[in-house]
């Protein structure tokens, strides 16, 4: 049985939390990284929601693909469901991704559910920065989440110009 792949585009990239045997830069097409999810717990409250990342439709997204041994597939999938499907704002999908060597593989990932009440829609950098500024949840200030994400992406050699523009407006 072959290994299976998991695609990460946000915190999974630097804190996957599951066993894997290989990590590769990878691109998914038809989705983009976006601050499109209202956070009511970790980076905001119901009265003052923050914004966190989701994979939203359109464009493409450079992230990391993790190769997971087949014998761990059930365990890793259960872990990811517990981590990502808490409020069901994400939908579990298997999508084609292109690894950095051009190989195409199918990967498990989580995309935003546009019909969910936490979906924030498509925001420009200025409006995203306004929603982020001052939002605080159980995991801390929303500003820290965005700035930390941008720094981790840069450390991995991944540029996200829109996210960087948001970060520039909140500092």
Listed by start position, the domains of the chain span: 4-166
Query: In this structure, what DSSP letter does residue 139 have?
Result: T
Look at residue 137 in the predicted model and tell me its pLDDT: 95
Arithmetic mean of pLDDT, 73-102: 96
How many Cα atoms are found within 13 Å in the side-chain-facing hemisphere of 22?
A: 12
Look at residue 8 in the predicted model and tell me its pLDDT: 97
> pLDDT per residue over 39-82, tens digit each?
998 899 999 999 999 999 999 999 999 999 999 999 999 999 99
Look at residue 2 in the predicted model and tell me its pLDDT: 83
CATH 3.10.490.10 is right for the domain spanning 4-166: yes
pLDDT over 80 at 171, yes or no: no
The pLDDT mean for the chain works out to: 95
pLDDT over 70 at 1, yes or no: no
pLDDT over 80 at 20, yes or no: yes
Look at residue 89 in the predicted model and tell me its pLDDT: 95
86 falls in which pLDDT band (50, 70, 90)? confident
Arithmetic mean of pLDDT, 105-113: 98
88-121 burial by CB neighbour count: b if 16+ within 10 A, else e? ebbbeeebebbbeeeeebebbbbbbbeeeebbbe
Catalytic residue, chosen from 71, 82, 84, 92, is 84
* Residue 164 designated active-site: no
């Amino acid at each position: 049985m072959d290994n299976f792949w998991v695609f990460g585009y946000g915190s999974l990239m630097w804190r996957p939390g599951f066993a894997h045997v290989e990590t590769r830069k990878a691109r998914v097409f038809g989705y983009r990284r976006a601050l499109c999810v209202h956070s009511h717990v970790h980076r905001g409250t119901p009265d003052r929601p923050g914004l966190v990342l989701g994979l939203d439709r359109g464009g493409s997204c450079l992230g990391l693909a993790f190769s997971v041994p087949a014998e761990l597939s059930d365990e890793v999938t259960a872990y990811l469901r517990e981590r990502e499907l808490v409020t069901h704002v994400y939908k579990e999908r298997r999508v084609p991704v292109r690894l950095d060597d051009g190989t195409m593989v199918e990967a498990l990932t989580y995309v935003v559910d546009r019909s969910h009440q936490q979906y924030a829609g498509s925001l420009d950098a200025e409006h995203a920065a306004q929603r982020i500024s001052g939002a605080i949840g159980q995991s801390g200030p929303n500003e820290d989440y965005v700035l930390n994400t941008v720094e981790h992406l840069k450390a991995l050699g991944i540029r996200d110009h829109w996210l960087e523009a948001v970060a520039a407006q909140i500092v």
